[in-house]
Structure 1
Amino acid sequence: MSYVNRIVRIAVVGEAETGKTTLITRAVNDTYCVRPVSVLPPTKLHPDFTLDKAPILITDTSSKPEDAERVEYVIRNSDVVIVCFDMRIQASITGIQTKWYPLIHKLNPNIPVILACCKIDRVSNEELDIIQQRINTVCNDWISFEACLHCSSYTSQGVAEVFNYAVKSVLYPLRPIYDRVDGRLRPEGVKAFRRIFNMTDMDKDDLLSDAEIGRFQELCYGEALSPSDLVSIKKLIRGVLDNGLAPATNALTLPGFLFLQALLIERGRVENVWRALRRFGYGDDLLLNPDLIDASFDFSHLPRHQVLELSPAAHSFLRQVYLVNAARRRGCDSQSLHLTSSSSSSSSSSSSFSSSFSAAAATTTTTTT
């Protein structure tokens, strides 16, 4: 599923003879050109090429000095940059650090960057391991660097992965939620996931029970979590974190929940993390969607003798939230609170997670003036 309302614009740059044009030709036509043209015109890639079905516009670039201004324009107006290099050409490797990193950082500092090690059919696995270590050293502090992928336009190996990864880096941006250099969630990401955790915690005991985890799974991913998968997840958490599960109930704690989100990212499943974030109303900048708050209510049509009042279910819900947070301020255990809610609120929360806040609906009451 695509989360952008426009074409994903991919810039392909690199030194001469690194395989930029043949990489694009293989992706678009599934053919290998022995004598490709010097520069391809902007080329559309069919949405079915990627797993996310996103429309893609690929822009090839020239390595000639007289075309430098055009290259800068393309970088400045793209969503992601693929930097091609040939490990047999030393200049293309050193150019990553001396040329492309400072240029891209200057023109478009927040744009994700994919390194494509082309022509791997001409090198050995041992050579690939060596170059991968060098690339990791060079790009260790490059915040916008996403990945270094190996590909061959001649055999088509890895070509689809390069463009799929490029599209994924745009649709599911890593930088707002995760610090790749430090290997941890950013404060903004922690804040968003804490809110999601609190909203999923239906009984407000600061823990996620198996039922609450199941509701979260179905809400975000549309499928149930099997008991065996849940056991495996908890076993994994228990082996890594001392405070990931509650000792008495084996329920999931906030640190355990945050650990799972970071683990998904580290395993390359950032799209799963973003599915949860977007389901709870977050945009690419980790700001809540303004549409979550409907400010279009017009009460001017109501007669003067009518006012809006909260329903009993809304009162119960807000009272529960207040008492839980008051207990937290006093350092009390929220499980010790005996909170009650109306039957309508209970039934709505059991049907689906998203309906738990329907209790905050307002009712119109007639009063005497």
Structure 2
Amino acid sequence: MTKNTIKVVVCGDDKVGKTSLITTLMKDEFIPNLQDVLPPVTINRDFSSNPYSPNGTILIDTNNEDTTQLHLQLKSADVIWLVYSDHESYEKISLYWMMLFRSLGLNIPVILCKNKCDRYNNSYNTDDQISIASDTKVEDEEFIPILMEFKEVDTCIKASALTKYNVNQAFYLCQRSITYPIVPLFDARLGQLKPLARDALERIFLLSDNDQDNYLNDEEMLALQKKCFNKSIDINELEFIKDTLLHIKPSSSSHENQYYVEGKGITKNGFLMLNKIYAEKGRHETIWGMLRVFRYTDSLSLDDAILHPKLNIPDTSSVELSPKGYRFLIELFLKFDKDNDGGLNDTELGAMFKCTPGLPKLWSQTDFPLSTVVNNRGSITLQGWLAQWSMTTFLSYSITTEYLIYFGFEDDTRVALQITKARRFRRRAGKFYRTKVNDRKVFNCLVIGKQKCGKTSLLESFLGRLYSTLYTPTTKPRIAVNSLELKGGKQYYLILQEFNELEESSILHDKQKLKDCDVLCLTYDSSDPESFSYLIDLFKKYNRNFKSIPIIFVALKADLDKQQQRGSLQPDDFAEQLYLDHPLHASSLWLSSLNELFIKITETAIAPESCTAGFPEELKSDDSDYMQTAVVLGSSIGFITLLAFTVLKIFKPNDHA
């Protein structure tokens, strides 16, 4: 956020007191009869009380006779301290100096300083301790035309090297123009906050409005102050803020004050107006104090290093949500479930994603919320919400870290994730296979099969939806993710992915996609005699890619009349040749068959050896300790859900109690 060292170039007409200002700053006293130009001076960070000040500031005195050197120094500057002292040097500010800066292509802040002000009036007290709120206000009318004409001018200030008046403050303003830049925040010509600043402040308002009533009440304002500045706001200052907003004339014709409503709090427009006032008064620190706590960079974007932290992930490991990540997402769900019906409707989802760029692209591409569990009104349930984020984290954890920040996660997002151990492989009978896993809770299954074999209905059934006779061809990838609980109380998330035939070919060519696959579910229509030959052709074409990946054959539409498959081998015979189990027979109309299938997929992901092609039965290990016999779909009550109910009791007390 802050440069380690900034360079301040002090320039202006001859004899305006540039060298005297630098010397007074360094020596804390006025020294007459100085040399014409000082060598570069470095000031350490602890010179200023500014907590965001750079580690060092280099002050460069300039000589107007050597224009080449002057231009080089200006081009290397981070900020310009432009000094004048009388009418003649004032005229040259706009006629010469500002034109010079523009001709050099400089796009850096300029601090305009009127030196020797002790000669012109006595309207100041050298002992005054001037606050940021007042000393940066434009009190001299001669500053106004320059501020209006040149947006490069950050701040204007009067000073006197002789009396030491405002010398330290002028230097501080130079530092502040870098550490608390006003240019990204405020358009002085229009007198308005800039669009990016408005967007950032609106997001801060939304995240601070904990009760989601569109007002910041006293408690929320105090919490915001504590979070951003680590101190409580003075109650008198808070009352002054409210009184100020209450008496500002609304910009619209509405009779209701649009900035503060008594008994409710500060509105979003009032919060923006308050920050506009801070910008106008030069209280950049206050605005930046909030922006930086909410992870904004000087360009008013969220820091990419925070949105997408680097993780060291072994080649065959996966990324899952940690208990802390699940807890945050549960609390977020409960916060926006305004009607407390256990589901997020479109309005509630819209409110939740207001402080983000919108739904993740991955979700839009996979028909969210139809990719997970919804209730009978189409609202995503808590179970579906957690399943969706489990899937997102598995497929692209950087989306999860990004949105955790958008949602206001305050810690390092890496604590919301956990990395599983790398897969272990063993060799037996000259073949490699995956060994059992103990630390994974999210598994990825690719559902492959000929068009119209029933894959889409299988995914719909996994989400607890009724079978539909209406055929809809799969034109883009589909995902279904749900939680399931095996006997013994262990809860898992299973991701089923379906593709059209063209995409299947691409997937089976992609070694990384196959590496991320826990189980290949090869499906065919048991009532279509041409369906299984499609799988045989896939094996012939991609045989080498199928090695070490667990495989399950599934005969779908088992409620229809079974047909003899046309081809060189029948499904049972083909499975036997590969030393795999005979196909499971399943139907979207037979709930027990679906339960058996989803159990089998999960068990295979946990203990893959038993379903790895090419192992005779006598070479396979005894996986009986991993074989479970029961599954609960649609209403899991494992750790995550129990945690949800616990949080619900804490955060959602009975309104009628």
Tell me the TM-score normalized by structure 1.
0.81
Contact 1:116 1:151 in 2 (8 A): yes
What is the identity, as a one-letter code, of the residue corresponding to 1:311? Y
The aligned counterpart of 1:346 is: none
Shift of 1:280: 0.5
Q: 1:277, CA displacement in angstroms?
A: 0.2
Bigger helix share:
1
Could you tell me which amino acid in structure 2 is paired with residue 272 of structure 1? T
Q: Hey, what's the Cα distance between the residues in 2 that align with 1:312 and 1:221?
A: 27
Structure 2: distance between partners of 1:307 and 1:149: 55
Q: Is the 8 A contact 1:204 1:324 kept in 2?
A: no
Aligned twin of 2:299: 285
Q: What letter is aligned with 2:81?
A: I
Alpha-carbon separation, structure 2, partners of 1:68 and 1:325: 64
Q: Distance in 1 between matches of 2:214 and 2:152?
A: 35
Corresponding pairs, count:
339
Amino acid corresponding to residue 274 of structure 1 in structure 2: W
| Structure number, greater radius of gyration | 2
Paired residues of 1:44 and 1:56 also in contact (CA < 8 A): yes
User: Which of 224, 246, 250 in structure 1 is aligned with 2:264?
Assistant: 250
| Residue 76 (structure 2) pairs with residue 61 (structure 1) | no
**Alpha-carbon spacing, 1:138–1:296, altered in 2? closer, same or farther (3 Å):** closer
Instruction: Give deviations 1:278-337, integer Å, cap 9, x for gaps.
Output: 11011111111112224434374448xx9769837625635838947625979xxxxxxx
User: In 2, Cα distance between the equivalents of 1:153 and 1:80?
Assistant: 20
Match for residue 71 of structure 1?
70
Shift of 1:74: 1.1
TM-aligned CA deviation for residue 102 of structure 1: 1.1
Instruction: Quote the residue 1:29 is aligned against.
Output: 27
Structure 1 distance, partners of 2:164, 2:321, is 64
**CA distance, structure 1, for counterparts of residue 180 and residue 171 of structure 2:** 14
Instruction: Give the 3-state SS of the residue equivalent to 1:37 in structure 2.
Output: coil
**Cα separation, partners in 2 of 1:76 and 1:191, compared to 1, 3 Å:** same
CA distance, structure 2, for counterparts of residue 22 and residue 269 of structure 1: 28
- Higher relative CO (CA 8 A, sep ≥ 6), structure 1 or 2? 1
CA offsets 1:98-128 (integer angstroms, 9 cap, x no match): 11111112325421111121122222359xx
- In the superposition, the TM-score normalised over structure 2's length comes to 0.47
Task: Pick which of 310-319 and 218-227 moved more.
Answer: 310-319
The CA distance in 1 between the partners of 2:320 and 2:96, in whole Å, is 66
Candidates 10, 14, 27, aligned match of 2:12: 14
User: Which residue is 1:261 aligned to?
Assistant: 275
Q: Does 1:117 align with 2:114?
A: yes
The equivalent residue for 1:218 is: 226
CA contact (8 A) 2:112 2:157 kept: yes
What corresponds to 2:582 in structure 1?
A: none
Which residue identity is paired with 1:74?
Answer: Q
For 2:278 and 2:264, the matched residues in 1 are separated by: 21
SS in 2 for 1:368: helix
Structure 2 CA distance for partners of 1:356 and 1:158, relative to 1, 3 Å: closer
Distance 1:313 1:80 in 2: 42
| Unpaired segments ≥5 residues, structure 2 | 124-138, 251-256, 338-342, 352-379, 384-407, 419-439, 442-491, 493-601, 605-657
RMSD, aligned CA: 3.4
Using the alignment, how far apart are the partners of 1:76 and 1:323 within structure 2? 55
The amino acid of 1:94's aligned partner reads E
Cα 1:6–1:108 change in 2 (3 A) is: farther
Distance in 1 separating the partners of 2:317 and 2:155: 58
Cα deviation for residue 354 of structure 1 reads 5.1
Q: Once the two structures are superposed, what CA deviation does each residue of 1:7-54 show, in whole Å capped at 9, x if it has no partner? A: 121100011111111111111122433221111111112433322154
Q: Is the alpha carbon distance of 1:132 and 1:245 closer, same or farther for their aligned partners in structure 2, counting shifts above 3 Å?
A: closer
Match of 1:86 in 2: 85
Deviates more, 1:73-82 or 1:310-319: 310-319
Structure 1 residues 69, 293: closer, same or farther in 2, change over 3 A?
same
Residue 259 of structure 1: how far off its partner (Å): 1.2
- Asked if the contact 2:154–2:183 (Cα under 8 Å) also holds between the matched residues in 1, the reply is no
Structure 2 residue aligned with 1:333: none
Q: Paired residue for 1:271, among 257, 277, 285?
A: 285
- CA displacement at 1:226 relative to structure 2: 4.2
Does 1:190 find its partner at 2:192? no
CA change 1:272–1:301 in 2 (3 A) is: same
Query: How has the CA–CA distance of structure 1 residues 92 and 192 changed in structure 2, closer, same or farther, with 3 Å as cutoff?
Result: same
Q: How does 1:322-333 map to 2 (within 5 A)?
A: 323=344, 326=347
Partners of 1:15 and 1:293 lie apart in 2 by 47
What are the ranges of 5 or more consecutive residues in structure 1 without an aligned counterpart?
331-338, 343-352
3-state secondary structure, aligned to 2:7: strand
Check if 1:368 corresponds to 2:603.
Answer: yes
Identical residues among aligned pairs (%): 26
